[in-house]
Amino acid sequence: MDAQEVPLDDGLVAQIAAIDGQPLEERAAAYTQLHDALRDILEGGDVPVVTER
């Protein structure tokens, strides 16, 4: 399966569609939040969670 055949998660598609319907300034902020959330998910397994005491 190549990159063009990878199915998109329906939740992500719906979230992107909702973001696309927003005014530009709100859309930019929403995409930043989505990017940060996806990065946290993707990189979360690489770094152990450190809690402050």
Domain total in the chain: 1
3-state helix, strand, coil in the chain (%, to 5): 65, 0, 35
Dist CA 20 CA 30 (whole Å): 9
CA–CA distance, 18 with 6 (Å, rounded to integer)? 21
Residue whose pair of structure tokens reads 């998109």 in the numeric block: 8
Task: Give the amino acid at 34.
Answer: L
pLDDT of residue 48: 62
Question: In terms of residue numbers, what domain contains 23?
Answer: 8-45
Binning pLDDT at 50, 70 and 90, where does residue 19 land?
very high
Tell me, what's the pLDDT at 3? 47
29 belongs to a structural domain? yes
Please give the model's pTM, rounded to 2 decimal places: 0.64
Say what the pLDDT of residue 43 is: 85
In a domain, 34, yes or no: yes
- The first and second tokens of residue 39, run together, are 């990065």
pLDDT higher than 80, residue 24: yes
d(CA 31, CA 35): 6
